[in-house]
Structure 1
C-alpha cells in the first residue's frame, strides 16, 4: 500500500498496517508535503511501566490496549522546513502517551538539525557530506567544563602535550586527530570513575546512567554526591575524577604507542573494520583509516556504524545514490565481495539504477530472470 500511495493521507493509512519493529518512516510528496512518523504498534502503558520487572501473574500490570495509530508521533510540514531523526527521543513533554524511557543520546540529532538549519538550496552533496560529518556536540559541550579542571602542575611532559592538542582541537573526530583519541578515552574513563563504584555488583550485570545524564551532571551539578568513590575513605570531587581520567587516557595511549606520534591518530586508535557476519577470521575487511565516532553523525565505531548510506533527489524523475560497506557477492573469491569498501569509506555514493519501465535501457543490466505462473 505504501508503494502505491499518492499523497500524505495514503502514507498515513499505509502505516496502520505496519506493526513491528517500530521504525521511522520519512515522507515527501510532489504536493510539497514532508513528514516523519515513528511508527509501530505501541502498547498503552503508564509512565515507566516495563522499566523494571513486574509481577506477570497480576493483571493490573498488563498493557491496557494500544496507542491509536492515528496518534503515533508525527510531524508534518514543520516550520523549520525539514524532518530528521538519529534515534533520539521522538516526542517532547506535550505528547500524552508513554512510549519508552531509553533512546539514543541527543548529540547526533542536534548536529543533523544544526546542519540542516544552515543549509540553503541543498544539493546531493549537501546531504552526502553531512553523512560523514565528524563534528562532536559532546566535545563541544564537555571540553569547556573539563579542561579548566585539569591540574597542569601535576602533568608530565606527554600529558601536557596532549592537553595542548585538546585546547587547539576543532572537536572533529577526523582520522588524523590526536586530540580525538585523548578525549574519547578520557571521557569513557571519566564515566567509569563516576559510576562504577555505585553500579558494580558481583554476579549481577549493571548499567550506568545514560550519556545524556552523565553530561548533564558534569555541566550542571559540580558538587553531585555521585563523584565520591564509595570504596575509598577520601571524598572525591569532580576535579579529582577528571584528573585521574585524563592521566589514564594519556598513559594508556603512551603504553600502546609510545610518546605522542602519528600512531595516536584517531583512525589508528579506533581501528575501524567491517567484520564477517559470522566472525570468520580473514573474511572481514581490512582496517579502514577513517574518522567518525559514536557521538558524531558519522557514528563509526571499531566494528559497527552507519552501513547503508543513501540520498534521493526528488523530482519528476527521482535520482537515487547509495552505497554499503561490502559488495554484491558473498563469495570471498569474487572481485565483487568487497569492491565497495573504499567508496563507502571515502563517503562517496554510487548512482542507483531506478528503472522507469520493464525495458528501460538507461542502466547496465547483466541478466534478467522472468518468473512465470
Structure 2
C-alpha cells in the first residue's frame, strides 16, 4: 500500500516559495490577512475581523500539520479504514461508539455565543488548504502520496462530535479496582493504588463482580488509544495504549519576582510525539490578541495570554466516568433489566468504508447510560461519560476564557469548562494571581464512583454540580500558587461532593512548592530551570534507610557508596541515577509488594496478585505505595528486619542488572544510556525512509517523579513529558518564552520540523514574541491570504 518517499526537491521548492513569496487566494475571507512567521516557526496572524483570523488559523494549521490533522479526524470519526484498510474496522467501530450524538444546538451553545461561528470559520480555512492541495498535488504533504490517499474536507460539526481524543482514566481504575478487590481482597487493592481520600471500597448492592474481566474495556481502550499504523518490528518496544498524562503550572505574584511583575509557568505532560501534540499560534484581530499553545485541530489557544490575562492548565482528575453492568434478557439480548422490566437498547447501524475491500456494516448499541462496550453470556457493560454531554469536546471550552479581560470574566468563563477536569492558574498585570479548577462533575447521590455499578436503575446521576462547588484561591498571602495533579482539595472541603479519588503522586508538587517558597526574586529563567528540575524526591525519602544499612557484601558496599554520595539529581550522565531507577522500579517495588502480599494471601495467590498489581503502574511509577511500606515496615512486612533483607537483596539484584545493561564498571554507567526519547512519525513503520520518520534516540534526564517529568516504559524509553513549555512574563509580554518539541511544522523537510529539539533537551526556550514591533524584527517569512 505504501512506498517510502522523501519530500522531492520540487515539493520543497513549491512549499517554501509559497511561504517566502507568500500569497494565497482563500475563499471566505472578507479582507486580506497577513501571517508573519518568526524564526522559530510561530505564525502571527493579523486580520481585520474575528471571522477572518480564525479562518486563517485553520488554513495555516493545515499548512503546517495537514497529515496530523487528517489522521486526528479519521481516528475520531471512525474513518481510518477508508485510508488504511480492513485492519482498522474495529477501531473505527469503537470510535463511532463514542461520537457525540446529542443535540447540536445545545452543544454549540454550551461553549459560548460565537463558538459555532468561530469553528465554522476555522474549518473553512482547513478546507481551503485541502482544496489547494487537491488542485495542486505539489502542495500535498509527502505522506499522502507515499500512502496513496488524499485528505478529506471537514465539516464544522466534526470538531465537537469527536470526543475520544481527551484525557480519560477513571473507567480503567474502576475496573482494575473491581478485579483486584474480587480476586485478592481489599488489602491487595490498598497496595495497588493510593486513594485520596482513603475511603473504604464498598461493593455496590447488586453488583456481580464475577462477570467482570479485563476485556470489558478493550473497545473503550481502542476508541481512546493512539493510532498504530503498521506492525512493530522485531526488537521494537510496544507503544503503550495510554501514557501517564499530567502537568505542572504555577503563578508568582509581583512580591515574589525580581521584576515586580507576575510570572506564569506551564508545562503540560503528554505523550512525546512527532509532530508535537501542541501548536503555537498568535491571533490578532479587533477585540482579540491572544498567543499560546493549543491543538492544531482546534480554533483558539488553551495555554497562553491575551495581553490582559495569562492562563495555564494541569489535569484536575475529576471522576467523569462510570461503568454500568447489565443483566440481559435471556430471550432478547437487545434488552437489559431496568427497574421492574426490560428496556431495549438503541441500535445504530453504520457503514464503514474500507480501502481495497467492501464496506463493512457495523452495529452500535447504546443503553440509557451510554455506549455498550462489552457483551458476553447474558451480561452487557456500558460506559457513562460526562464527556459525552453537550459542551464537553476536549479543550474547546477555552474559546470563552481566552478572551477574558479580567479575573471576573475569566472565572465566569471557567463556569462553562467541561472536559477534561483542569486546574487553571491565571495572572494579570495588576498583580492578580489565581487558581480555578473546572470540569463537569456528576452528582452521585448514593455511591462514590469507586467501582462499577448495576445498570438497573439503582445508581443514577442526579444531574451535575455547578463549578462553583469546586474550591478556588486568589491572591493568597504567600503570593504564589502551584498545581501538579496532586490531591489539592483544601482542608475542610466537603468530601461528599465526590470530586474523585485517583490523584497523582504529590512528589512534583512538593518539590515545586519547596523551591517556590525558598526565593523572592524569581525570573523567567528561574521558572525554566524549575520546569527542568530533575531532583528525585523519592530518593531523598529512601536515602536515610540506605544510610543505615551495614551489609557484608563488598558489592553492596560499593553500591551504597555510589548512592550515598549522590545528590539525587537524575542527570543523564549520572551513574547513581541509573542504579537508583533500576533498583526502585524493577526490584525494590516488586519485592516489597510480594512480601506484603505474602503476609495477607496464600503463597500461590500472592504471586498472582503481584503480577496483576505491578503492571498497573508500569507507565507512571507512582512511588507512594513503596514509600508507605518503607515508612511502616512492621505493618506491611512484619518487622524492620524483613525490610532490611529486602533492601539488601533488591539492591544486589539491581547492581547485577545494571552490570548486564551498562557494563561491569560503575564509573561508566550513565542514566541517559538507558533512559532515552525516541520521537516517531505515526507512519514510521509504513514509511521508514521518510525524511525525519524517527528522531533520536536522545539521552534524557529526569524520571517519572521529577518536576521535569520524563515518565518511561519498562525499557526506560520516555513515553510522556513536557513537549510544550511556556513561561509568561505578565505585563512585559515580549519577555515570555516557550518551546514546542520537535518543532512547529509537521511537514518532513521543513526547517521548523525539528528545530526546537535540541533546545528542548537542553532545557532552553525561545522568545514568545507578542508586540508587532518585536514580531516584525524576528520575521523569517510573510504570507498574505486574500479573498478569492
Q: TM-score range by the shorter chain?
A: 0.7 to 0.9
Name 2:783's counterpart in structure 1.
Answer: 368
Name 1:183's counterpart in structure 2.
Answer: 580
Name 2:703's counterpart in structure 1.
Answer: 293
* CA distance in structure 2 between the partners assigned to 1:48 and 1:186 by the alignment: 40
Name 1:232's counterpart in structure 2.
Answer: none
Pair 1:195 & 2:593 matched? yes
The Cα of 1:64 is off from its aligned counterpart by 3.0
Give the conservation status (yes or no) of the 8 Å contact 2:432–2:475: yes
Name 1:310's counterpart in structure 2.
Answer: 726
Give the conservation status (yes or no) of the 8 Å contact 2:578–2:671: yes
Name 1:136's counterpart in structure 2.
Answer: 536
Name 1:111's counterpart in structure 2.
Answer: 511
Structure 2, unaligned stretches of length 5 or more?
1-399, 598-605, 712-716
Q: For 2:489, what is the secondary structure of its paired residue?
A: coil
Q: Select between 161-170 and 90-99 the one with higher mean Cα deviation.
A: 90-99
Name 1:211's counterpart in structure 2.
Answer: 623
The Cα of 1:308 is off from its aligned counterpart by 0.4
Name 2:569's counterpart in structure 1.
Answer: 172
**Alpha-carbon distance change, 13 to 131 in structure 1, aligned in 2, over 3 angstroms:** same
The Cα of 1:126 is off from its aligned counterpart by 1.0
The Cα of 1:318 is off from its aligned counterpart by 5.1
1:269 paired residue among 670, 674, 682: 674
Matches within 5 A, 1:22-101: 22-45=421-444, 49-59=448-458, 61-96=459-494, 97-101=497-501
* CA distance in structure 1 between the partners assigned to 2:775 and 2:675 by the alignment: 44
Name 1:231's counterpart in structure 2.
Answer: none
* CA distance in structure 2 between the partners assigned to 1:340 and 1:130 by the alignment: 19
Name 1:222's counterpart in structure 2.
Answer: 633
Q: 1:241-294: per-residue Cα shift (whole Å, max 9, x none)?
A: 212210111010111222134542111121233333456467222122231111
The Cα of 1:2 is off from its aligned counterpart by 1.6
The Cα of 1:73 is off from its aligned counterpart by 2.4
Q: TM-score normalised to the size of structure 1?
A: 0.87
* CA distance in structure 2 between the partners assigned to 1:222 and 1:261 by the alignment: 30
The Cα of 1:371 is off from its aligned counterpart by 6.5
Aligned-pair RMSD on alpha carbons? Answer: 2.9
* CA distance in structure 2 between the partners assigned to 1:73 and 1:372 by the alignment: 48
**Alpha-carbon distance change, 242 to 312 in structure 1, aligned in 2, over 3 angstroms:** same
The Cα of 1:191 is off from its aligned counterpart by 1.2
* CA distance in structure 1 between the partners assigned to 2:446 and 2:738 by the alignment: 40
Q: For 2:648, what is the secondary structure of its paired residue?
A: helix
Q: For 1:272, what is the secondary structure of its paired residue?
A: strand
- Alignment size in residue pairs: 361
* CA distance in structure 2 between the partners assigned to 1:371 and 1:320 by the alignment: 31
The Cα of 1:77 is off from its aligned counterpart by 1.2
**Alpha-carbon distance change, 106 to 184 in structure 1, aligned in 2, over 3 angstroms:** same
2:758 paired residue among 325, 331, 342: 342
Q: For 1:288, what is the secondary structure of its paired residue?
A: strand
- Pick the structure with more strand per residue: 2
Give the conservation status (yes or no) of the 8 Å contact 1:181–1:264: yes
**Alpha-carbon distance change, 244 to 279 in structure 1, aligned in 2, over 3 angstroms:** farther
Q: For 1:171, what is the secondary structure of its paired residue?
A: coil
The Cα of 1:343 is off from its aligned counterpart by 0.8
**Alpha-carbon distance change, 318 to 64 in structure 1, aligned in 2, over 3 angstroms:** farther
1:244 paired residue among 636, 645, 649: 649
Q: For 2:677, what is the secondary structure of its paired residue?
A: coil
The Cα of 1:166 is off from its aligned counterpart by 0.5
The Cα of 1:75 is off from its aligned counterpart by 1.6
Pair 1:11 & 2:427 matched? no
Q: For 1:273, what is the secondary structure of its paired residue?
A: strand
The Cα of 1:48 is off from its aligned counterpart by 7.3
The Cα of 1:22 is off from its aligned counterpart by 1.2
Q: For 2:464, what is the secondary structure of its paired residue?
A: coil
**Alpha-carbon distance change, 118 to 236 in structure 1, aligned in 2, over 3 angstroms:** closer
Q: 1:310-365: per-residue Cα shift (whole Å, max 9, x none)?
A: 111111545321112212222333343212111110111011232549x9634415
* CA distance in structure 1 between the partners assigned to 2:721 and 2:480 by the alignment: 24
The Cα of 1:113 is off from its aligned counterpart by 0.8
* CA distance in structure 1 between the partners assigned to 2:463 and 2:582 by the alignment: 45
Q: Select between 301-310 and 193-202 the one with higher mean Cα deviation.
A: 193-202
Q: Select between 326-335 and 117-126 the one with higher mean Cα deviation.
A: 326-335
Taking CA–CA contacts closer than 8 Å with sequence separation of 6 or more, which of the two structures ends up with the larger relative contact order?
2
The Cα of 1:87 is off from its aligned counterpart by 1.1
Name 2:14's counterpart in structure 1.
Answer: none
Which structure has the larger Rg? 2
Q: Select between 342-351 and 62-71 the one with higher mean Cα deviation.
A: 62-71
Q: For 2:526, what is the secondary structure of its paired residue?
A: helix
* CA distance in structure 1 between the partners assigned to 2:693 and 2:637 by the alignment: 45
Give the conservation status (yes or no) of the 8 Å contact 1:173–1:266: yes
Q: Select between 107-116 and 254-263 the one with higher mean Cα deviation.
A: 254-263
Name 2:559's counterpart in structure 1.
Answer: 162
Q: 1:205-250: per-residue Cα shift (whole Å, max 9, x none)?
A: 546695223312311x12124579xxxxxx9822222122101110
* CA distance in structure 2 between the partners assigned to 1:223 and 1:196 by the alignment: 15
The Cα of 1:367 is off from its aligned counterpart by 2.9
* CA distance in structure 2 between the partners assigned to 1:240 and 1:279 by the alignment: 46
**Alpha-carbon distance change, 249 to 296 in structure 1, aligned in 2, over 3 angstroms:** same
